[in-house]
Amino acid sequence: MVYVGIDVAKDKHDCYIVNSDGEVLAEVFTISNDQDGFSLLFQRLQSAAPDLSNVKVGLEATGHYSYNILGFLLDKGLTTYVINPLHTNLFRKSTSLRRTKTDRVDARVIAAMMMSDVVLTSYTATSYHNEELKSLTRYRFEKVRERARLKLSVSRLVNILFPELEKLVPSLHMQTVYALLSELPGAKQIASCHLTHLKALLADASKGRYGREKAIAIRDAAQRSIGSAMKMKSMELQHTIRLIRELDAEISEIETAIQEIMDEMAPPILTIPGISYRMGAMILAEIGDFSRFYSPDKILAYAGLSPSTYQSGKLANAYPHMEKRGSRYLRYALFNATRFVCNWDPSFAAYLAKKLAEGKHYYVAISHAAKKLVRLIFALMKSGKPYCPAT
């Protein structure tokens, strides 16, 4: 066998080639992150191993920097391994007491790690093409977080400009309130607004649900409000609402694209009550190719949902904590999907109630239910069959 270690960087990659006898076939060399560099790497590989089926290539998971070279290697039919940086870091420390870390050293470490007895699973074309769905779900995740921050800003600004408004509406974050504050961003502006115009504004924004009585209540509260009349804060409120509306449109567009991909895939995970397109897509995108995982426990470890273990001598693992060292996106999706599944599926609801009856905290009980959900998802995706609730 021929082993190739590649340390990935933004503009260049360091490569090292060695065979299973420990003979160095190519000392560390650097290729540029472009077509010429990729071609040079492939030429060196062909020189080192005429039979490319005997070549194993390893590189660290470095986000988008490794995406292009990974696609190139898969297109050439090379067996490729994407290794967790935590593994390579621990492996490097185990081979030397010195804290030496350079790109050239890392390339050698990756090759040595593949030559060792460490169990690794090769990256597949399925995982690579799954990146489109992963990109969409992560992009949506960040957009939703950004929108949540802006909504907090709206609440803060309303408490400054018109604090009484919050008691007059079910929520500040509804289209009727946004329409009102976009045109009249403060108690002073609402108090001076003609009642007829205010009534028409509310009726149009609420599609007839709010009429004259609501308009009078809001104007009266504005006239007695203790809110500050700060022009700059009013301008900030208008701009913030405008940004939220833009994000709403973007998120809706992203969710449409996600649903189109999921409809084409038709995965059995969507047959589980409580798992929507959004959470289902995020779970599938983060897990990728299920053939990479031998058991549900491997997925739990990948998500960081498995308990940590520490035992030495007479010291027992008295209070194991959740590791939280895997994909935070997968952990988020599984945890939130579990909460909905426990609401919609009777068997999961009963399991959650059982854990709560044992005296476990709600979130601890949810984590147990999440493990049950992962086992179910693993079985469905392996078999391809839809979920059949227990009768």
pLDDT tens string 1-48: 889 999 888 889 999 999 888 888 889 999 999 999 999 999 999 988
At 44, the amino acid letter reads R
Residue 96 scores a pLDDT above 70: no
CA-based nearest residue to 351, from 367, 335, 337: 367
C-alpha distance from residue 260 to each of 21, 129, 253 (Å): 50, 15, 11
Which of the two residues, 295 and 253, has the higher pLDDT score?
253
- Work out the pLDDT band at 116, boundaries 50, 70, 90: confident
Mean residue pLDDT of the chain comes to 87
pLDDT by residue (tens digit) across 285-343?
A: 988 878 778 888 888 888 887 665 555 555 555 455 665 666 789 999 999 999 999 99
79-83 and 2-8 strand pairing: unpaired
Query: What residues have CB less than 8 Å from 173, skipping those under 6 apart?
Result: 151, 154
Q: What pLDDT score does 125 carry?
A: 58
- Work out the pLDDT band at 71, boundaries 50, 70, 90: confident
Using alpha carbons only, how large is the chain's radius of gyration in Å?
Answer: 28
C-alpha distance from residue 71 to each of 38, 94, 286 (Å): 11, 31, 18
By percentage, how much of the chain surpasses pLDDT 70? 88
CA distance 198 to 175: 15
Q: What pLDDT score does 179 carry?
A: 96
Residue 129 scores a pLDDT above 70: no
CA distance 350 to 347: 5
| Residue in this structure with the two tokens 């021929």, named with its chain if needed | 2
- The structure tokens listed for 226 are 């203790």
